[in-house]
Amino acid sequence: MAKRFARALGACCFFPLIPAVQAADLPDYQRNSAWFTDGDSRVEARAAESRSAQTAKNVILFVGDGMGISTLTAARILEGQLRGENGEENALSFEEFPHSALIKTYNTNQQTPDSAGTMTAMMTGVKTRAGVLNIDGVALRADCADSKGKELNTFLELMESRGKSTGIVSTARITHATPAATYARSPERDWEYSAGGDCKDIAAQLVESEFGDGIDVILGGGRRNFITSDAGGKREDGRDLTAEWQQRYDGEQLAQYLESGSDLAALDLAATDKLLGLFTSSHMSYDADRVAKGADEPSIAEMTSAAIDVLQKNGDGYFLMVESGRIDHGHHAGNAYNALHDAIAFSDAVAAALDKVNLDETLILVTADHSHVMTIAGYPTRGNPILGKMIANDAAGAAQAEVGAALDGLPYTTLSYANGLGYADLGDETDADARYDLAADAGRKDLSAVDTQAPGFHQEALVPLGSESHAGEDISLHAIGAGAQLVQGTLEQSAVFHLMVGATGLSVTAE
């Protein structure tokens, strides 16, 4: 990692169904929002102190969905332990970045947020309600009529409409809340393949994007939202959006549509202008499940690398958003194993990007949208398996031979959840979603004979819920490259937009 980090430091035509190309300028009510003006003034003050810094031509925003501080700590330890080390001294790739900040994640109507509201804040500079994508927070959720005239434009759309290339990568459905917040406006995050009123569904908005010539690279899951029910999809309107996407660029640009990892590996990226890859019907596999079962899906690092290869052909620059969406899903299932392994794969994707870009002209940001209620507790000895049972030190500082027990006489794990489905022992099963085939099993369990490091172990939870919840504490932001010096202190999540604008010098009004 040290060597790779040192190298990194050194280192025309439109869809005929769309009548006109729109300029992604920000409406007055967006720029006059208190969230927007506060973030703008704070970043401007910091930029004034660093006028000699280089301007970023390219921006890569990495979002680990649900990757809170406890997830970073545990993933860091697990990655080291997988190499045979104690683990505590390890660092994930982006934890070595020179600049960092804390980010406040609340939505306008919720103390503990959801991904739609948090990603909207990062992409538009305006905080909004939970469940709402790029609609101002004064609008009501799931009310199409009320959303009219309150739409917010995004950083991706600003870049695209100014001649830059753009891309989105996600291990979740590409129409899921976090990736959707880069390009869609919807008062309801669940309108992925159909919408209420006369609003347009999220998948259709992606294919019909009116900014620039559309998003250049789209890689992730969620094929079902683009194809008809007759073809195994969800759409009831008879539209095959994958065919429409290909028709949009037919004869004008070299566009490729893919459905497998082997297709991506074989693709000539140098001869590709537009790339759409929908590798699974719904979300992509957890990384551990992908490997264990030999799924024909690319890793998040492979998708990131391919996206950069296509986007960097534009000499005017690009914006790429990369989301590890399944960290969040592993936590919701109460399965730390998959959440942490996906966080490690996410770190590998950041490292892959570092190997490809010139940091003199590229800003890389790594953050989360919110945290989760996974805790690291007890007093385990240093080097104790992070997925294991708690083994403490004795009075002399030596590790005890027996697993430590709680006051109820039962052993417990270092990792646990404050709420959720609770204990499950599925052995070697690597798909955390299999947990939802079982009823919630709340309460303390005797783990004496249970392998808590197995992929199918799901940690105990204090409060029984049908799904483990998000948490409301601050998350971290890590930065390297051109403009990274602006990342410091404790910031509102909406300031991430202004950090990207400040680093690139991008105008938010028509020029």
Catalytically active residues are: 115
Residue 492's SS3 state is strand
Q: CA-based diameter of the chain, in Å? A: 77
Residue 132 has, within 13 A of its CA and on its CB side, a CA count of 28
DSSP-assigned letters across all residues of 261-277: HHHHHH--GGG-SEEEE
Q: Does 369 carry a binding-site annotation?
A: yes
Q: Does 370 carry a binding-site annotation?
A: yes
Q: What is the distance between the alpha carbons of residues 168 and 321, in angstroms, rounded to a whole number?
A: 5
Q: Does 309 carry a binding-site annotation?
A: no
Is the distance from CB of 134 to CB of 123 less than 8 angstroms? yes
Q: Tell me, what amino acid is at 507?
A: S
Is the distance from CB of 419 to CB of 465 less than 8 angstroms? yes
Q: Does 452 carry a binding-site annotation?
A: no
Q: Does 372 carry a binding-site annotation?
A: no
Two structure tokens written together for 313: 């052909």
Q: Does 268 carry a binding-site annotation?
A: no
Q: What is the distance between the alpha carbons of residues 63 and 330, in angstroms, rounded to a whole number?
A: 15
Nearest C-alpha neighbor of 181 from the set 163, 156, 209 = 156
Residue 67 has, within 13 A of its CA and on its CB side, a CA count of 31
Q: What is the distance between the alpha carbons of residues 175 and 494, in angstroms, rounded to a whole number?
A: 21
To the nearest 10°, report the CA torsion of 495, 499, 504, 506: 20
Two structure tokens written together for 96: 């070595």
To the nearest 10°, report the CA torsion of 133, 349, 217, 276: -100
Q: What is the distance between the alpha carbons of residues 318 and 166, in angstroms, rounded to a whole number?
A: 5
| Residue located via tokens 């870049």 | 159
Q: Does 283 carry a binding-site annotation?
A: no
Q: Does 458 carry a binding-site annotation?
A: no
Two structure tokens written together for 222: 């969620």
Q: Which helix (H) or strand (E) holds 178?
A: helix 177-180
Q: Which helix (H) or strand (E) holds 314?
A: none
Q: Does 176 carry a binding-site annotation?
A: yes
What residues form the annotated binding site for Mg(2+)?
65, 176, 178, 323
What residues form the annotated binding site?
65, 176, 178, 323, 328, 332, 369-370, 470
What residues form the annotated binding site for Zn(2+)?
65, 328, 332, 369-370, 470
